[in-house]
Amino acid sequence: MFAMKLTLIVLGALLYLAGTLVWFFWLGPELVVTGTTEALLYAFAGTCGWLLVSFGLAVHIIKIARPTAVVGKEK
């Protein structure tokens, strides 16, 4: 079971890293260099999407690291 979890974590990290590198070093700059309004809107939307995925990943990691922190639980 541990090997399966580790494989999924490594695969997820690799996909996130690959997507980040592709966006910031290939697709994003290409859209900005094109310079049309449509391309700039796509670049903005893609960056916003990347930020949402990054934020969601950070929240997910924090929730896994602190499973006892339940929202709305009063002491």
Q: What is the pLDDT of residue 73?
A: 59
Beta strands in 1-75 (DSSP E): none
Mean pLDDT (10-residue bins), the chain, 75 residues: 88 94 93 93 95 93 76 60
Report domain extents, the chain: 16-65
Rounded Cα gap, residues 67 and 13, in angstroms: 21
Q: What is the pLDDT of residue 2?
A: 84
Q: What is the pLDDT of residue 69?
A: 60
Which residues does 46 contact at the CB level (< 8 Å), separation at least 6? 23, 27, 28, 31
The DSSP letter of residue 27 is I
Q: What is the pLDDT of residue 61?
A: 86
Rounded Cα gap, residues 44 and 6, in angstroms: 34
Q: What is the pLDDT of residue 72?
A: 63
Q: What is the pLDDT of residue 26?
A: 93
